Amino acid sequence: MNKYIAAALLAVMSASTWAADYVTEVADIINDNCVVCHREGGIGPMSFESYEQVRPWAPLIQMRVANREMPPYAYDHGIGIQDLQGDWRLSQNDIDMVVNWVRAGSPYGDRDIVAQPADLRDLDAWNFVDDFGQPNLVIPSIPLDIPANGNDMWSKHLVPSGVAEDRCIKAIQVKPRGEAKSVVHHANSNIILDGEQQGGMLTEYAMGKWGEIVPEGVCRTFPANSQVRWDIHMFPGGVGAMAQGEMIKDNVVEIGLWFHEPDYESKYKQDLSLYRLGDQSDIVIPPHGYYMTQGFKSFDHPVRIDSWQPHGHLRMNAASIEVFYPETGRTEPISQVSNWSATWHHSHIFAPNVAPLLPTGAVLILKQWYDNTENNPNNPDPDQWVVGGSRTGDEMTHNWMAVTHLDDEGYDKLKDERRNTPIKTSSL
């Protein structure tokens, strides 16, 4: 092709993308993806509810969107499984739209057109209301007062569940009330029946986590007449944009549960468990240094990995999960996060038709990386030695995974279904 013709075509293509304006294109992107946090009383540090609020921040928005730092859903493109439920990542088309809009001077567009405001939900609303309605059951923790500053705090206590019959969980969300969002580092829970823990965890919460959806056809069981044991870690003063630096009275954390109908049955059980990548006491990260951990997990029966959530603290910055097949010697990437942040925890829920199916004996390879240098934007002090521990300033090397436990029949059935069903790939 003649270079001048190619240049002309490129100019035409560029002109079409540069025609973007706020009122007809960009406002929808901002409203659908940003205003959920960047609103009055939200966890974002500024509001994006109108053109007048968005315009001064346009260059920063461009940079964060182009670098895929916002929306804050850390999950690498082009590595492993890309089809996820609840994926916040922008499409490349939306990214290009925002970038070109800013390059063009961030125009409003036709002033005779009024930009439609975002459809804002109540800040304390449950995340799965649109999908499943209000929770069937809400279980609160005991109220706790969190001082304005001081050392990390923990509370471990039991509360009755009020569940009178065995139920299968459809979805679950942990939600600190109001300003408590800024001070609750994590809020884990498990089920206690007759003094014994039942299965894995009920759920795990860490700052930024949206919630979990249990796939159809399996059961995460909530037994009757049980108790919930809370394990809540609080950081006085708060972490992130919502940090208040003031006393928070009567802090309560709630679990919202959506159940299947009482007659719902499933042969296969799902649980949520913590998989460690080694002994936490072995973690020693030198000042201005780096560190890596690696762990392995195999099962004596076939399984499906339904979700994956890496966990660490302020120095952790990346994580990955792979599967090794001993019979063939092949290693297959599943997921990777290269810009992980302790202020945004996500349970990456795989679409059911692509969730990893592991035959008996397959080995999961779990890796995490740590950056204790000034290049880590979350690092409070690169001059410090960092060791493994439970405090916010310590480090951890954890993976939370929801696993469906299968038998050979169930494994073969799912494999056959996938052979006969076209897989939809992500458009991102």
Tell me the average pLDDT across 244-259: 85
- Going by pLDDT thresholds of 50, 70 and 90, the confidence category of residue 238 is low
State how far the alpha carbon of 181 is from the alpha carbons of 120, 231, 348, in Å.
Answer: 18, 16, 21
* Percent of the chain clearing pLDDT 70 (strictly above): 92
Return the CATH fold of 268-428.
Jelly Rolls (2.60.120)
pLDDT at 415 over 50: yes
Please, are residues 279 and 170 in contact by the beta-carbon 8 Å criterion? no
Among 106-120, 244-258, 315-329, whose mean pLDDT is lowest?
244-258
pLDDT at 15 over 60: no
How high is the pLDDT of residue 421? 66
How high is the pLDDT of residue 19? 64
User: Which letter, b or e, does each residue of 184-210 get, where b requires 16 or more Cβ atoms within 10 Å of its Cβ?
Assistant: bbbbbbbbbeeeeeebbbbbbbbbbbb
φ/ψ of residue 94, rounded to 5: -65, -40
| Number of CB atoms found within 10 A of residue 326's CB | 11
- Going by pLDDT thresholds of 50, 70 and 90, the confidence category of residue 427 is very low
Architecture of the domain defined by 132-266:
Sandwich (2.60)
State how far the alpha carbon of 154 is from the alpha carbons of 174, 184, 314, in Å.
Answer: 17, 10, 18
| Number of CB atoms found within 10 A of residue 321's CB | 25
* Percent of the chain clearing pLDDT 90 (strictly above): 65
What would the pLDDT profile of 33-49 be if each residue is shown by its tens digit? 999 889 887 778 899 99
Alpha carbons 242 and 76: distance in angstroms, whole number: 26
Q: What is the mean pLDDT of the chain?
A: 88
pLDDT at 18 over 90: no
- Going by pLDDT thresholds of 50, 70 and 90, the confidence category of residue 220 is very high
What would the pLDDT profile of 65-83 be if each residue is shown by its tens digit? 999 989 988 899 999 999 9
**Burial of 403 (C-beta count, 10 Å sphere; 0-12/13-18/19+):** buried
Residue type, 361: G
CA angle 182, 312, 60 (to 5 degrees): 60
What would the pLDDT profile of 263-303 be if each residue is shown by its tens digit? 998 999 999 999 989 888 899 999 999 999 999 999 999 99
Residue type, 142: I
> Please, where in the chain does CATH 2.60.120.230 lie?
132-266, 268-428
pLDDT at 428 over 70: no
